[in-house]
């Protein structure tokens, strides 16, 4: 490619960032970086009715967490600033007027009542949602159906108007999609979309084309749900005289529900018990919080890795990729056309693998705030690093570290005595009493010495060590799970080990 590659992610700040949105951003980013180009964040906030306070910062935070850093954006203005469409609103009207001038768009003065009336009149079984299009535009109140003087008068009187694109008739609009190849649409099926609203704000259709042009975007990635809008955009590029500069399109496949067909929605996540947003989203209107992957304990490395493989295949067996490896391996030829089913178990598998890859030190740094928020007191970082080392293998999510390591930091409050009562004997009780004496006299406290003294005493008393391990575990952990018991004793120290044992022996 001779030209500098410039891609963009163009979300509307309307709420939480769905994983499909993050995947669009990711592919756009990977493609740009692969070709040593720039990745732009453009905030499409022209629809004031859908605007949600805080959503833009939330999107920026989600991208930052994922390590998908825009080269240009509202928070990092570059040559093509501003990057927020609401701050560019004065730029768009001239292009709408240019289109009216060249005969490719027109003023429409219809009131909402008139539009409603048209829809009601034309509605039939065959045509349940009639459109404002070539078949009917001449019956409506617009600069095509009215005389020039009538239009001028209405404009002079400041009659509210919108500007609509005049879609061609009997034309096949085709374009080449990087994933889907040639796509053809019948122009007759597409309505005359509004380009400029009565309040002077552009609609998405006008703004996306103008901005992609002015920001010199070379490749536009977006979700498959935007395919029906593509013919309008193609015509706008042509009518504005910019066809030569039109970006290459890539309409990404949908992320599908795990069970059944259709796009994975927030409701599916709620129903099946997993998040669909990248990070926790606090809705300022309802006050509700929707869970995100980050807060559930996903690592960003795992999150982007699993997203990359939803719709793209590397062509090799390998599944674990760092961001740099993804950039090197990414190619549009291996992006699938078909939707990709989301599998939460597989997502957790990725996270487990990435947790195992983390160094103990890095993992401890991530886990520390989680444990302290839950009330654990961590005074010694080197102790935490050792604990992380011992339990890492058992943790699928970062939040699992709490449950998997709490007994290394605190004595249990409850003990599952039922698990041992059935096989409990006086001999076993004596064993533990005698062993406490031995443990108290140990001068070096380390797991191999603890284990040896345990085994020696069991042999001496002719009790199978296996029968004593569960009671010992219940004494230290309170429950049947956890890492090797001698490692636990080693970690918590002599005093704590002996105290926990005495406490349970007093109960049995």
**Residues at the site binding ligand GLU, with contacts judged by CB under 6 A:** 10-12, 44, 204, 208, 222, 226
Alpha helices in 138-259 (DSSP H): 148-156, 204-214, 230-239
Compute the distance between CA of residue 23 and CA of residue 339 in angstroms, rounded to an integer.
13
Backbone φ and ψ of 278, nearest 5°: -65, -45
DSSP state of 105: E
Would you tell me how many other CB atoms lie within 10 Å of the CB of residue 207? Answer: 26
CA dihedral of 186, 190, 192, 195, whole degrees rounded to 10: -110
Task: Single out the residue of 146, 339, 189 nearest to residue 251, CA to CA.
Answer: 339
* Closer residue to ligand GLU, CB minimum distance, 27 or 298: 27
- Least distance between ligand GLU and beta carbon 304 (Å): 19
* Closer residue to ligand GLU, CB minimum distance, 208 or 398: 208
* Closer residue to ligand GLU, CB minimum distance, 209 or 475: 209
Sequence-ordered list of residues with C-beta below 8 angstroms from that of 229, at least 6 positions apart, any chain: 204, 205
* Closer residue to ligand GLU, CB minimum distance, 211 or 301: 211
* Closer residue to ligand GLU, CB minimum distance, 25 or 388: 25
- Least distance between ligand GLU and beta carbon 40 (Å): 11
* 257 included as an active-site residue: no
Q: Is the previous residue joined to 82 through a cis bond, with omega within 30 degrees of 0?
A: yes
Compute the distance between CA of residue 411 and CA of residue 479 in angstroms, rounded to an integer.
12
- Least distance between ligand GLU and beta carbon 384 (Å): 42
- Least distance between ligand GLU and beta carbon 225 (Å): 8
Cα separations in angstroms, 50 against 12, 15, 42, 300: 8, 9, 16, 29
* Closer residue to ligand GLU, CB minimum distance, 13 or 297: 13
- Least distance between ligand GLU and beta carbon 208 (Å): 5
SS3 of residue 72 by DSSP: strand
What is the DSSP track for 355-372?
Answer: HHHS-HHHHHHHHHHHHH
CB 360 within 8 A of CB 384: no
Compute the distance between CA of residue 3 and CA of residue 204 in angstroms, rounded to an integer.
26
Indicate the burial class of 295 (C-beta count within 10 angstroms; 0-12, 13-18, 19 or more).
middle
- Least distance between ligand GLU and beta carbon 73 (Å): 14
* Closer residue to ligand GLU, CB minimum distance, 11 or 339: 11
- Least distance between ligand GLU and beta carbon 174 (Å): 19
* Closer residue to ligand GLU, CB minimum distance, 13 or 339: 13
Catalytic site residue from 34, 266, 357, 368: 266
- Least distance between ligand GLU and beta carbon 10 (Å): 4
Q: What is the SS3 assignment for 396-458? A: CCCCHHHHHHHHHHCCCCCCCCHHHHCCCCHHHHHHHHHHHHHHHHCCCCCHHHHHHHHHHHH
Task: Single out the residue of 232, 212, 229 nearest to residue 220, CA to CA.
Answer: 212
List, by residue number, the catalytic residues. Answer: 266
């Amino acid at each position: 490619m001779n030209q500098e590659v410039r891609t963009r992610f163009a979300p509307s700040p309307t709420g939480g960032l769905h994983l499909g949105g993050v995947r669009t951003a990711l592919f756009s980013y990977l493609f740009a970086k692969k070709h040593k180009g720039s990745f732009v964040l453009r905030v499409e906030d022209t629809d004031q009715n859908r605007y949600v306070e805080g959503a833009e910062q939330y999107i920026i935070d989600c991208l930052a967490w994922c390590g998908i850093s825009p080269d240009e954006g509202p928070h990092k203005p570059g040559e093509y600033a501003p990057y927020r469409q609401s701050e560019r609103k004065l730029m768009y009207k001239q292009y709408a007027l240019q289109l009216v001038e060249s005969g490719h768009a027109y003023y429409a003065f219809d009131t909402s009542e008139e539009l409603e009336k048209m829809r009601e009149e034309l509605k039939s079984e065959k045509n349940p949602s009639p459109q404002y299009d070539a078949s009917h535009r001449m019956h409506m109140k617009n600069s095509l159906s009215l005389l020039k003087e009538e239009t001028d008068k209405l404009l002079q009187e400041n009659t509210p108007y919108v500007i609509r694109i005049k879609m061609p008739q009997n034309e096949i609009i085709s374009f080449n999609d990087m994933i889907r190849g040639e796509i053809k649409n019948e122009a007759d099926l597409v309505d005359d979309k509004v380009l400029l609203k009565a309040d002077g704000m552009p609609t998405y259709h006008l703004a996306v084309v103008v901005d992609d042009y002015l920001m010199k975007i070379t490749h536009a990635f977006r979700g498959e749900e935007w395919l029906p809008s593509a013919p309008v955009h193609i015509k706008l590029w042509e009518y504005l005289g910019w066809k030569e500069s039109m970006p290459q399109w890539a309409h990404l496949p949908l992320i599908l529900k795990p069970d059944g067909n259709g796009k994975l929605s927030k409701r599916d996540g709620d129903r099946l018990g997993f998040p669909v947003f990248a990070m926790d989203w606090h809705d300022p209107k309802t006050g509700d919080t929707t869970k995100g992957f980050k807060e559930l304990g996903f690592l960003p490395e795992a999150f982007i890795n699993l997203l990359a493989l939803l719709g793209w295949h590397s062509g090799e067996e390998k599944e674990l990729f760092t961001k740099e490896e993804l950039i090197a391996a990414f190619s549009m030829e291996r992006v699938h056309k078909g939707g990709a089913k989301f599998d939460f178990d597989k997502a957790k598998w990725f996270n487990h693998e990435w947790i195992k890859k983390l160094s103990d030190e890095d993992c401890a740094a991530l886990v520390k705030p989680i444990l302290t928020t839950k009330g654990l007191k961590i005074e010694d970082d080197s102790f935490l690093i050792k604990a992380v080392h011992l339990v890492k293998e058992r943790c699928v999510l970062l939040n699992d570290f709490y449950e998997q390591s709490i007994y290394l930091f605190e004595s249990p409050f409850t003990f599952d005595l039922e698990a041992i009562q059935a096989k409990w004997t006086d001999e076993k009780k004596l064993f533990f009493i005698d062993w406490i004496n031995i443990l108290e006299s140990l001068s070096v406290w380390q797991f191999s010495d603890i284990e040896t003294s345990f085994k020696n005493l069991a042999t001496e008393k002719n009790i199978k060590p296996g029968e004593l391990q569960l009671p010992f575990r219940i004494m230290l952990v309170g429950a049947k799970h956890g890492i090797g018991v001698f490692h636990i004793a080693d970690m918590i120290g002599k005093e704590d080990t002996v105290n926990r044992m005495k406490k349970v022996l007093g109960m049995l």
